[in-house]
């Protein structure tokens, strides 16, 4: 368990680094963006809001370490400050409102896309040398398509031309959110097109990396030995080849997850999907710095948590990490 403990410590450190980055970025950016903002806003908004901004951005005379301590203690209390764009709504409230939509959409599609991608990658590796190799350039192309452009094309074809799916929003405007069938079915219906976009734009990456890993593993002696044992093909492929080839995919989850999260955020913007990505976009447009920071923090923490989960899964998949000492 030493391995896992080290990982947990590393992630705790990364989380702390993200918190600190969040604290330092507005204070250290060149050109003093906060002062410019305050200057621009003064007189236009509530003086109470001005005070709140001034305080949360260190436009006080307190030294940096005192500000940092204040920042950490208010974070610990779940206080992310007040939104400027939606003053005086607390940032934490807006973040919590947006989070379920993103976790629902991005979480589910990431898992689906990982499963489809890895499965297909193993199949393509097994059938290398046959016509399926010609799929590789197509998959490479698909992997390079920007998420938001994929979304635009799908909207053009499936929504505007064919009228199969709604163009935007997470549910029919006017419906009251609740656990009734009308609302849930509307959510599902509105979610299909964004989900297809994210899956289409992200699964090819998993396919390519899993195929390459499996092809490499197929040349290993243990796979040859499994074949020599007279095991059925499926068993050789799943228990020996894929079982080993998936390990780097799980380790590389961090890398890919970042890309998927980033791409999904742009997808949300196109569909006006009320998740974290869209909210962040709005916050940036309104120069709503407290909201921007709160969202960045929550996204970072979510990705860090997802990585920790991937590492726990890795410990189950690879007995070598369970070694003591």
Partner 1 sequence: MNLSRLVPASGKVRAGLIIAIFFVLMAVFGPMLTSYSPQASGTDLLQPPSGAHWLGTTQTGQDVFAQFVYGARVSLGVGLFAGIISQIVSVLVGVIGGYFRGLSDDLLYILTAVFLVVPGMPLLIVLTGYLPSRGMISVAFVIAITSWAGSARVLRAQTMSLRRREFVEAARATGESRTRIVFSEIMPNALPLIASGFLFSVIGAVLAEAGLSFLGLGSLTTTSWGSMLYFAQSAQAFLYGAWWWFVPPGLAIAVLGAGLALINFGIDEYSNPRLRTGKSRGRAVRTGGPQAAALSTAGAAAVASGVDSPGLASIPSEDGVNEVAGPEPSGSAAAAAQIRPIDVPGAPIIEVRNLKVDYPSIDQVVHAVDDVSITLHRGELLGLAGESGSGKSTLTNAITRLLRNPAQVTGGSITYHRAARARPGASSGADPGAAEAIDLLGLSSEELRGYRWDEIAIVFQSAMNALNAVTSVGAQFDDVLRVHRPTMPAREREALARTMLEKVGIDSDRVSAYPHELSGGMKQRVAIAIALVLEPDVIIMDEPTTALDLLIQREVLDQVMALRDEYGFAIIFTTHDLSLLLEVSDSIAVMQRGRLVEYGPALEVYAEPRHPYTQALLASLADMGALV
C-alpha–C-alpha distance, residues 94 and 101, integer Å:
12
Instruction: Identify whether the C-beta of residue 52 lies closer than 8 Å to the C-beta of residue 91.
Output: no
* 325 binds partner 1, rule: CB under 8 A: no
154-159 long-range Cβ contacts below 8 angstroms, 24+ apart: 154/193, 154/196, 154/197, 154/200, 155/193, 155/270, 155/271, 158/193, 159/193
Q: Which residues pair with 82 in a beta bridge?
A: 90
Task: Tell me which of 48, 64, 66, 255 binds partner 1, using CB under 8 A.
Answer: 255
C-alpha–C-alpha distance, residues 308 and 12, integer Å:
10
C-alpha–C-alpha distance, residues 75 and 96, integer Å:
15
Instruction: Identify whether the C-beta of residue 273 lies closer than 8 Å to the C-beta of residue 245.
Output: no
Question: Strand ranges (DSSP E) for 11-162?
Answer: none
* 224 binds partner 1, rule: CB under 8 A: yes
Task: Tell me which of 44, 65, 234, 320 binds partner 1, using CB under 8 A.
Answer: 320
> Nearer to partner 1 by C-beta: 159 or 183?
159
* 67 binds partner 1, rule: CB under 8 A: no
We find the least distance from the C-beta atom of residue 255 to partner 1, in angstroms, to be 5
We find the least distance from the C-beta atom of residue 256 to partner 1, in angstroms, to be 10
Whole-number Cα distances in Å, 298 to 3, 19, 96: 26, 10, 9
Q: Which residue has the tokens 């890919």?
A: 256
* 70-78, 83-91, 178-186, 228-236 -> range binding partner 1 (CB under 8 A): 228-236
> Which residues ranging from 6 to 45 are in contact with partner 1 (CB under 8 A)?
10-11, 13-14, 17-18, 21, 25-26, 29-33, 36
Phi, psi of 317 (to 5 degrees): -85, -30
* 262 binds partner 1, rule: CB under 8 A: yes
Task: Tell me which of 62, 89, 153, 313 binds partner 1, using CB under 8 A.
Answer: 153
> Which residues ranging from 85 to 104 are in contact with partner 1 (CB under 8 A)?
none
> Nearer to partner 1 by C-beta: 187 or 200?
200
How many residues comprise the chain?
A: 325
We find the least distance from the C-beta atom of residue 69 to partner 1, in angstroms, to be 22
> Nearer to partner 1 by C-beta: 79 or 227?
227
We find the least distance from the C-beta atom of residue 217 to partner 1, in angstroms, to be 9
In the stretch 112-131, what mask flags binding to partner 1 with x, by CB under 8 A? Answer: ----------------xx--
Number of residues engaging partner 1 in binding (CB under 8 A): 92
C-alpha–C-alpha distance, residues 65 and 44, integer Å:
31
* 75-83, 96-104, 110-118, 140-148 -> range binding partner 1 (CB under 8 A): 140-148
């Amino acid at each position: 368990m030493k391995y896992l403990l080290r990982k947990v410590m590393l992630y705790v450190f990364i989380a702390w680094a993200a918190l600190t980055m969040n604290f330092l970025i507005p204070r250290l950016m060149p050109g003093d963006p906060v002062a410019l903002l305050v200057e621009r806003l003064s007189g236009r908004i509530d003086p109470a809001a001005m005070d709140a901004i001034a305080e949360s951005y260190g436009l006080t005379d307190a030294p940096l370490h005192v500000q940092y301590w204040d920042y950490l203690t208010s974070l610990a209390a779940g206080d992310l400050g007040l939104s400027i764009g939606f003053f005086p709504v607390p940032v934490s409230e807006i973040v919590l409102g947006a989070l379920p939509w993103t976790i629902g959409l991005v979480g589910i599609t990431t898992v689906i896309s990982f499963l489809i991608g890895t499965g297909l990658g193993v199949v393509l590796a097994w059938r290398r040398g046959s016509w399926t190799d010609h799929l590789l350039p197509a998959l490479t192309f698909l992997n390079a398509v920007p998420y938001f452009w994929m979304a635009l094309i799908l909207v053009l074809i499936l929504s505007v031309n064919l009228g199969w799916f709604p163009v935007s929003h997470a549910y029919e405007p006017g419906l009251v959110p609740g656990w009734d069938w009308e609302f849930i079915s509307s959510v599902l219906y509105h979610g299909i097109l964004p989900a297809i976009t994210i899956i289409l734009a992200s699964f090819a990456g998993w396919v390519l990396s899993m195929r390459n890993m499996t092809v490499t593993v197929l040349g290993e002696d243990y796979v040859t030995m499994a074949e020599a044992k007279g095991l059925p093909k499926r068993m050789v492929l799943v228990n020996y080849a894929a079982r080993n080839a998936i390990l780097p995919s799980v380790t590389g989850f961090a890398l890919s997850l970042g890309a998927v999260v980033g791409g999904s955020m742009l997808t949300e913007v196109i569909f006006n999907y009320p998740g974290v990505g869209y909210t962040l976009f709005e916050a940036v447009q309104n120069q709503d710095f407290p909201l921007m920071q709160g969202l960045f923090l929550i996204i970072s923490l979510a990705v860090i948590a997802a990585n920790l989960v991937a590492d726990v899964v890795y410990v189950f998949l690879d007995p070598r990490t369970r070694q003591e000492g």
